């Protein structure tokens, strides 16, 4: 695999986006849901996974629950399939995180 751009959101990015997308008490509920999505990796990987799940949930707490379950499962894609996903996602993700 070559040329994979990797987003590096910080914990403060995750907290900011959570507060933005899940107002009021839903913010705390969303943070609890995210805490169940442990990648077993370092904090940088955790924050990257949490940011991706938040992005896809679009402020919907039920969708966030579903996506955290999906995030726990690793699917086996070919290198070319992964590269196509990485390339297509990068531009959209960068614009979303910067908003």
Residue at 36 is within a domain: yes
Residue at 2 is within a domain: no
Q: How many domains does the chain have?
A: 1
pLDDT tens per residue across all 99 residues of the chain: 567 777 799 999 999 999 999 999 999 999 999 998 765 567 887 898 899 999 999 999 999 999 998 777 664 456 687 678 778 888 788 888 888
CA distance 60 to 2: 34
Q: Could you report how far apart the first and last alpha carbons of the chain are, in Å?
A: 29
Residue at 5 is within a domain: no
For 31, the token pair is 């943070």
For 94, the token pair is 């960068």
| Residue 66 falls in which region: left (phi positive, over 0), alpha (psi -120 to 50) or beta | alpha
Residue at 6 is within a domain: no
| Cβ neighbours of 6 (radius 10 Å) | 9
Domain range for 40: 11-98
């Amino acid at each position: 695999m070559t040329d994979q751009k990797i987003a590096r959101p910080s914990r403060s990015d995750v907290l900011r986006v959570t507060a933005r997308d899940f107002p009021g008490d839903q913010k705390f509920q969303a943070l609890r849901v995210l805490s169940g999505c442990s990648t077993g990796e370092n904090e940088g990987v955790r924050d990257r996974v949490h940011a991706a799940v938040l992005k896809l949930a679009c402020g919907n707490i039920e969708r966030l629950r579903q996506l955290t379950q999906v995030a726990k499962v690793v699917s086996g894609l070919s290198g070319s399939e992964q590269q196509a996903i990485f390339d297509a996602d990068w531009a959209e993700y960068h614009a979303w995180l910067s908003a």
